Structure formats: structure tokens, C-alpha cells
Structure 1
Amino acid sequence: MKLALNKIQYPVTTLGFGRRVGIWTQGCSIGCPGCISKDTWERRPDDYVEMNDVLAVCKRWPQADGFTISGGEPFEQAEALADLLKHFRKSFHGDLLVFSGYEFDELEMRFPEILEMTDVVVAGPYRANAGSNLTLRGSDNQTIHLLSDLARERYPNGLNNERKRKSQPALDLGITEDGIYMAGITKQGGMARFRKSLAKRGYRAITSDK
């Protein structure tokens, strides 16, 4: 089994409970206007990674509080996603959170067996005109679904209506041997403001929303 993969990062603190492993799949046909992750849309033959290699990387961080799977669109690789979640359930602790650009009722209809292995789903397409004031979401039309006892223990009941706090970090910024990575959800226009702020300091940034 292979997974088309964009990257794996740890620690990620802005995409779920605690310090997490973030996994970004490669490939998305939804193509939401204004998406800040356009680099994950196109899927190429050399993006595919053996599942055993993906799991070997994840085993580097047994202390992780959970796994967040985003993209790209993870459910467009449903067979590989199901296989990945099965391995996590057998070998790792923590909650499993998956982001999807599909509406939740479509996920329920098409992928019930995957939802049974998932603790939290953030569902719905990014819509630039919907506002971006709610936590864990790029736009306010998206919905959060707590599917397990662990999810309901770790995430507050009112999460669907919880607004982003000014004190709450929007992005993780990490430096690896391969370069600098960012993970998180900015408010609308956040990446443009980030580029402008760096430009004032004499730096030029190229971000994947452009």
C-alpha cells in the first residue's frame, strides 16, 4: 500500500489537541478558491510513499498526543487513508483528527468505515466569503464532528461555535534539515499579511496560496 504524501511534521500544536504529528496528503481535485495549500493539489507519480515508510517516520514520536491528517484531500485516497488509520489504531495512542473538503453528510454516506476509525473530523470546503472566526477552521461554514469518547474528553462540547482567540497561536513554524515549514490555520488574508511583514524586514517569502 502506498500513500501520496506531501509531508510529515512534528510537533504541530495548532491543528488539534496537544503536540501532534501532522500528515499532509498530496492531491486534491476540489480546488477551493483561496486555498492556502495549493502546493498539495497536484498529484505526481513520485509523491507515492510506501505505507511502512510513513509509519516508520511516525514512530519517531511516540510521545505525540495524536495525529492530524490534512491535505490535499485525504478521502481521495480512501483505501490508503483507511489502512493508515488501522495501523494507528493498533500501534499508537492519542486521537485521530482528519480534515476534509467534503461535507460531513457525504463522508457519512461514502466512507462510514473510515469515520468509525476517526475521533474528530473537520468537514466542508473552504469558502473565502464565509468568514474565518471559528477555531480549527479555515472558513466558518466548516463543521467539527466529535466521533468518540476520547474526542469528547479532549475537545470542548461547544467547539463548533468557539471563536479563535487572539492569544491562540495560528501557525507553527519549524526548521528542519529540509527547510522551514508552517502548519496551522490563519485568518483570511493571513498569508498576505505574513509576506508583507517579512518584506518590511527585507525578506521575500513565497507561500503556496499564490
Structure 2
Amino acid sequence: MDIRISRLHFPVTTLGPGRRIGIWLQGCSIRCPGCISADTWDANKGQATVEGVMAHLAQWLPAAEGITISGGEPFEQPEALVVLLAALRNTTSADILVYSGKPIEQLAAVLRHATGFIDALISDPFDLDAPHTMPLRGSDNQRLHLLTALGIDRFSVYEPPCKAQEKSLDVMFDPDGSVWFAGIPQRGDFLRLQELLINQGHRVHISADKARTTKAHPS
């Protein structure tokens, strides 16, 4: 089964409880203004197969406490997503969290085919102008859905608002020297980091949405 992948990483510690595998799918037509993952919008990149992804994840699955699937928009590859979820569920007892920029009401058909595969789902588009107080969410309009007993056990702690000091980011380094982040930043965090690095003489390439340049993030 073909699937478009932006990146795979382990461990990720900021997108759910414990040490997690991060799977970012490639391609998104929602394109929320201010998105920090605009590099995942292009649906003509990242060609892979579910079998190849599972082979790559095999090295990490024994140590993974959870799996987070984001993007891009995972539900724009519905058949591949369900096949990937089924393969993961048959391979590991780790919890599975999936992000979507679509309302859950639009995902009913896919979710029926994925019953029991997704433990927690965060739905709805990112809104740059909405408050940002809820854990795991980029804006407070986004909803956390606990879909299984495991999801309730692992993710109920993320239902109340969080304190600013509780938010954090994972910093990743790719072989080509690029630096990127996983997690949900505070508003303006990446802009402040960009300014700091530029003032220190570094070149910063922005891969975020340019619609509102005052909110652009380096990665």
C-alpha cells in the first residue's frame, strides 16, 4: 500500500505521554494560516509504502510507549492510514494518537474502518487567532477525543488547561544539518528563536506558512 510520509522519528516526548514514535504524513489541503508544518502540505512528495514504514519502525517499536501520527493531514490518505493503523495495532500495544485538521464529524466513515485502532484523536483546524491554553493542541478550538479505554487511561490528563511552563519542544537534528522541532510551541516562540539566531549570525530557513510573516517559525 502506497503512503506519503514527511518524516519518522523516535523518541518524541512532547506529543503525548512517554517516549513516542512520531509519524508525519505528507500532504494537506487545509493549509491553516500560521501552520508550523507548511513543508508537509505538498502532496507530491514523500512517496513510500506502509510495508517500508513498518520495516523502518521495527527498530523503535519495542521501546515505544506510544505513537503519534500527524502531518500534513493524515485523513487525506484514508485507505493508507487505516492500513498503517491496523499494522501498528497488530504489532504493538502502545497507544496511538492521531491529529487531524478536519472536524471529527467529517471523519466518521474512516473512523468506522479504524474502530479500535485510534486511542485518542485531536480534531479541527488550527486557528492562529484562538487562545492557546490546552495541552497537545495548537489552538483551543481543537478537540481531544478519547476513543478507547487505553485512550482514556493515557490521555485524560490532557483534558484540563496546562500552564505555560508545562509546554516543551523536542529538538531534532537531521543528517544534513537541519534542525527541526516537535511539539506545540507557545505563540511567537519560533519568531523569538529566529530573531536570536539571526542576531548571532546564523542563517534560518523558514518552512512554516508565510501568510502571516510575524508568526513564521524556523525549522
Pick which of 19-28 and 111-120 moved more: 111-120
Partners of 2:43 and 2:59 lie apart in 1 by 26
Partners of 1:164 and 1:125 lie apart in 2 by 22
Q: Provide the TM-score with structure 1 as the length reference.
A: 0.92
State the one-letter code of the partner of 1:198. L
Q: Matched residue of 1:91: which SS?
A: coil
Which consecutive aligned stretches of 4+ in structure 1 deviate over 3 angstroms post-superposition? none
Q: How many residues align?
A: 207
Q: Matched residue of 1:155: which SS?
A: helix
User: 1:11: how far off?
Assistant: 0.7
Q: Provide the TM-score with structure 2 as the length reference.
A: 0.88
Matched residues, percent identical?
41
User: 1:47: how far off?
Assistant: 1.9
1:63 equivalent in alignment to 2:92: no
User: 1:164: how far off?
Assistant: 4.0
Q: Is the 8 A contact 1:33 1:127 kept in 2?
A: yes
Please point out which of 163, 173, 184 is paired with 1:175.
Answer: 173
Q: Is the 8 A contact 2:103 2:125 kept in 1?
A: yes
Which residues of structure 1 form unaligned runs of 5+? none
User: 1:93: how far off?
Assistant: 2.0
Pick which of 187-196 and 71-80 moved more: 187-196
The Cα offsets for residues 185-205 of structure 1, whole Å up to 9 and x where unpaired, read as 112222212211222322222
Partners of 1:136 and 1:164 lie apart in 2 by 12
Give the superposed CA RMSD: 1.6
User: 1:207: how far off?
Assistant: 2.6
Spell out the pairing of 1:129-144 with structure 2 (5 A cutoff).
129-144=129-144
State the one-letter code of the partner of 1:174. M
1:206 equivalent in alignment to 2:205: yes
State the one-letter code of the partner of 2:123. A
State the one-letter code of the partner of 2:199. K
1:167–1:127 CA distance, 2 compared to 1 (3 A): closer
Partners of 2:12 and 2:197 lie apart in 1 by 22
Q: What residue number does 2:156 align with?
A: 156
Q: Is the 8 A contact 2:4 2:47 kept in 1?
A: yes
User: 1:110: how far off?
Assistant: 5.0
1:108 equivalent in alignment to 2:108: yes
Q: Matched residue of 1:199: which SS?
A: helix
The Cα offsets for residues 154-209 of structure 1, whole Å up to 9 and x where unpaired, read as 2235x33322441431x101224243332111122222122112223222222321
Q: Matched residue of 2:114: which SS?
A: helix
Q: Is the 8 A contact 2:27 2:41 kept in 1?
A: yes
User: 1:115: how far off?
Assistant: 4.8
Q: What residue number does 2:125 align with?
A: 125
Partners of 1:82 and 1:178 lie apart in 2 by 32
The Cα offsets for residues 111-161 of structure 1, whole Å up to 9 and x where unpaired, read as 32225310010111011111222110111100101111111112235x333
User: 1:2: how far off?
Assistant: 1.0
Q: Matched residue of 2:150: which SS?
A: helix
The Cα offsets for residues 59-99 of structure 1, whole Å up to 9 and x where unpaired, read as 11120111100000000000000000000111112100000
